[in-house]
């Protein structure tokens, strides 16, 4: 009987190992494509997909839920974008809190928790970021995905060396090609990311949205943090909001630079009638100074390296060993969202988000208290 050569045996054994490893890794990678549940609260009157406003998105990873909270009373409308960058969890969790807790008393609220749905399905390369983080609610623990700043390359590839913003000709690093917040107002025949931006712009135009707020986070050493960035048309609204919230929290206003294109606070203000605003909070799991990223860092915001950096003046916000928790970051977003609505008094009427928790209540109870229990 002829013996099988040794190198054939080892190659065959390694092939089996490859198949096993690929299956194991595939289960891990594809598990991030499973969306975390969002439970429509009592204020939600309808849920549509973004493809309702731009049908070309239907069936793609760019299609995403739009939660509509209609008070039943005519008035102004507000669109809240969470998850433009899914590695900035306070924007996403604030949007989820609106969906599950908010009951507007006048006007209509539109919420897109996963603005860049594709970017929830992967993490940023070389960041060793967790794929999930966990938040305790009143009766259980819920999981949420920690995604990427950019669209999954599975949905849009390859990146150009230089990203040219379509409507302005502005040139940016090729790494911004898949960044939703560099793609506005978007293009119907553009890249995947541009199509998502186009869909959101179409929603704003079709529904004549009065206020659009894009919720973000940035690293504690970034200069634009704990800030509202406002299109020139929305500066008055931002100023009145700051006036109302400054008793509880310190926040600054920045005017949207006229020569920085592709961002919500610039393009949505220029191309639509909406008052475009963007908010930033300080997220220790971003930036370059943090230690290992895990769910605890995402939720507690406690990082000893950032605390030490703060003693050298290397961060731009007050930062101690206590960190800046996800609850505090969401409390900032929600307090300002409530005031954006309250302070708005346009020709299309008023909008009120109803009895939302205050900044201090969220700090005291934690953001999980205002989320639905896992079902």
Backbone torsions φ then ψ of 90, nearest 5 degrees? -65, -30
Of 99, 6, 101, the residue nearest 46 (C-alpha): 99
Options 9-17, 237-245, 354-362, 367-375: segment touching another protein (CB under 8 A):
9-17
Question: What are the CA-CA distances from residue 10 to residues 13, 98, 167 (Å)?
Answer: 5, 57, 57
Residue 59 within binding range of another protein, rule CB under 8 A = no
Smallest gap from Cβ 124 to another protein, in A, equals: 13
Round to whole Å and give the CA distance between 226 and 329: 9
Looking at beta carbons only, is 16 or 139 nearer to another protein?
16
Neighbours of 235 (CB within 10 A): 17
Q: State the minimum distance, in angstroms, from the CB of residue 363 to another protein.
A: 39
190 binds another protein (CB under 8 A): no
Output 28 or 169, the one with its CB closest to another protein: 28
- For the CB of residue 6, give the shortest distance to another protein in the complex, in Å: 8
Which residue from 2, 7, 126, 189 is in contact with another protein, where contact means CB under 8 A?
7
Strand ordering across the sheet containing 227-230: 46-49, 65-70, 108-112, 77-81, 211-218, 275-282, 227-230, 252-255
Q: Which is nearer to another protein, 20 or 42 (CB)?
A: 20
Single out the residue of 2, 3, 4, 158 in contact with another protein (rule: CB under 8 A): 158
DSSP strands (E only) in the chain: 46-49, 65-70, 77-81, 108-112, 132-137, 140-145, 162-164, 171-173, 211-218, 227-230, 252-255, 275-282
Tokens coding 79: 């669109």
When asked if residue 8 is in the footprint of another protein (CB under 8 A), the reply is yes
- Residue 25 beta carbon to another protein: minimum distance, rounded to whole angstroms: 6
Residue from the set 3, 4, 14, 105 that interacts with another protein by CB under 8 A: 14
CA nearest 278: which of 295, 298, 264, 262? 264
CB of 22 to another protein, least distance (A): 5
Phi (first) and psi of residue 296, to 5 degrees: -65, -40
Q: How many C-beta atoms lie closer than 10 Å to residue 40's C-beta? A: 16
Residues 111-140 that bind another protein (CB under 8 A): 122
User: How far apart (Å, rounded) are the C-alpha atoms in residues 336 and 245?
Assistant: 7
Q: Min. distance of Cβ 4 from another protein in angstroms?
A: 11
Closer residue to another protein in complex, CB, 158/313: 158
Q: To the nearest whole angstrom, how small is the minimum distance from the Cβ of residue 17 to another protein?
A: 6
Q: Do 65 and 47 contact (CB within 8 A), yes or no?
A: yes
Residue among 58, 154, 188, 322 that touches another protein (CB under 8 A): 154
Interface with another protein, residue 160, by CB under 8 A: no
Q: Name the site residues for another protein (rule: CB under 8 A).
A: 5-8, 10-11, 14-15, 17-18, 21-22, 25-26, 29-30, 122, 154, 157-158
């Amino acid at each position: 009987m002829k013996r099988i050569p040794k190198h054939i045996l080892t190659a065959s054994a390694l092939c089996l190992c490859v198949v096993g490893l690929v299956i194991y890794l595939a289960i891990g990678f594809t598990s991030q494509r499973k969306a975390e549940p969002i439970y429509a609260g009592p204020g939600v009157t309808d849920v549509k997909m973004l493809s309702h406003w731009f049908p070309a998105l239907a069936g793609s990873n760019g299609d995403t839920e739009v939660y509509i909270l209609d008070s039943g009373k005519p008035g102004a409308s507000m669109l809240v974008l969470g998850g433009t960058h899914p590695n900035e969890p306070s924007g996403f969790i604030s949007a989820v809190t609106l969906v599950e807790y908010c009951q507007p008393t006048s006007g209509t609220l539109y919420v897109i928790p996963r603005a860049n749905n594709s970017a929830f399905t992967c993490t940023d390369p070389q960041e060793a970021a967790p794929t999930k983080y966990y938040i305790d609610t009143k009766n259980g623990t819920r999981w949420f995905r920690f995604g990427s700043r950019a669209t999954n390359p599975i949905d849009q590839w390859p990146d150009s060396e230089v990203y040219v913003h379509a409507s302005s000709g502005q040139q940016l690093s090729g790494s911004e090609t898949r960044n939703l917040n560099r793609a506005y107002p978007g293009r119907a025949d553009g890249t995947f990311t541009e199509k998502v931006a186009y869909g959101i712009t179409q929603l704003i135009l079709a529904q004549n949205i009065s206020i659009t707020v894009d919720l973000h986070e940035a690293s504690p050493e970034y200069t634009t943090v704990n800030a509202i960035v406002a299109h020139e048309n929305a500066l008055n609204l931002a100023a009145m909001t700051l006036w109302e919230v400054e008793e509880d929290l310190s926040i600054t206003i920045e005017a949207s630079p006229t020569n920085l294109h592709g961002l919500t606070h610039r393009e949505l203000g220029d191309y639509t009638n909406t008052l475009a605003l963007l908010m930033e909070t300080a997220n220790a799991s971003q930036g370059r100074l943090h230690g290992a990223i895990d769910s605890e860092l995402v939720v507690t915001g406690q990082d000893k390296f950032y605390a030490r950096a703060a003693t050298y003046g290397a961060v731009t916000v007050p930062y101690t060993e206590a960190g800046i928790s996800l609850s505090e970051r969401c409390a900032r977003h929600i307090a300002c969202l409530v005031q954006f609505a309250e302070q708005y008094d346009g020709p299309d009427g008023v909008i009120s988000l109803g009895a939302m928790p205050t900044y201090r209540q969220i700090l005291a109870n934690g953001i999980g208290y205002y989320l639905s229990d896992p079902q």
